[in-house]
Amino acid sequence: MPVYNDTVMDHFMNPRNVGEIENADGVGEEGNPVCGDMMTFYIKVKDDKLEDVKYKTFGCGAAIAVSSIVSELAKGKTLEEVKKMKPMQVVEELGGLPKNKHHCSNLGAQALIKAIEDYEAKTGKAPAKAAAKPKAKAAARSKAAAKPRTTAKAKTATKARGGK
Ligand code: FES
């Protein structure tokens, strides 16, 4: 049974910013298939800053505390600042988490970043780097399609049948 410090307990017992934003500008969901915990973050954006952040978390005490502190850390920050948020920073802000609960801190940052990416995709504000990726993949696919389909396995099978 993990032992949580007072800060974690406070955020767990009195989570800040819980809820859902109607007509959110972005929504991001992240889960951990091993423990089954899920977080959904909702954001409102104004002037490239997070005007409002809310979440719904289904999970352990640490997951709820993480969601709460992430929402507090993110509110009022620019999108770029929030995208740089690291799970370890979340753990430090909470004054530490038991080692077996560190994965809970990943969920918060990732769900929030997904909400920002959702906003950027909807508004066409995705960074140039991310927008270039699908093109690179498409070019790689068309290159692969242009190559002959014979593989080492197919050659071996042809030889085994007495062919060349
Ligand atoms: Fe998995 Fe907390 S136990 S998020």
How many angstroms from the chain centroid is the CA of residue 121? 14
Is 31 part of any domain?
yes
Catalogue the long-range contacts made by 99-103 (C-beta closer than 8 Å, 24 or more residues apart): 100/2, 101/2, 101/60, 101/62, 103/32, 103/34, 103/35
Is 105 part of any domain?
yes
Is 54 part of any domain?
yes
Residue numbers of the domain that contains 31: 6-126
Is 160 part of any domain?
no
Name the residue with the closest Cα to ligand 1, atom 1: 35
pLDDT tens series, the chain, 164 aa:
558 999 999 999 999 999 999 999 999 999 999 999 999 999 999 999 999 999 999 999 999 999 999 999 999 999 999 999 999 999 999 999 999 999 999 999 999 999 999 999 999 887 765 444 555 555 555 555 444 444 444 444 444 454 44
The pLDDT, as a whole number, for residue 125 is: 84
* Domain count within the chain: 1
Distance 37 CA to ligand 1 centre (A): 5
Distance 103 CA to ligand 1 centre (A): 6
By most ligand atoms within 8 Å of CB, the mutation choice from 29, 55, 57, 60 for ligand 1 is 60
Return the residue matching tokens 């370890």: 88
Q: Evaluate: CB of 103 within 6 angstroms of ligand 1.
A: yes
The pLDDT, as a whole number, for residue 126 is: 78
Is 23 part of any domain?
yes
Is 156 part of any domain?
no
The pLDDT, as a whole number, for residue 1 is: 58
Q: What is the CATH number of the domain that holds 83?
A: 3.90.1010.10
Q: Which residues are catalytic?
A: 35, 104
Is 146 part of any domain?
no
Is 17 part of any domain?
yes
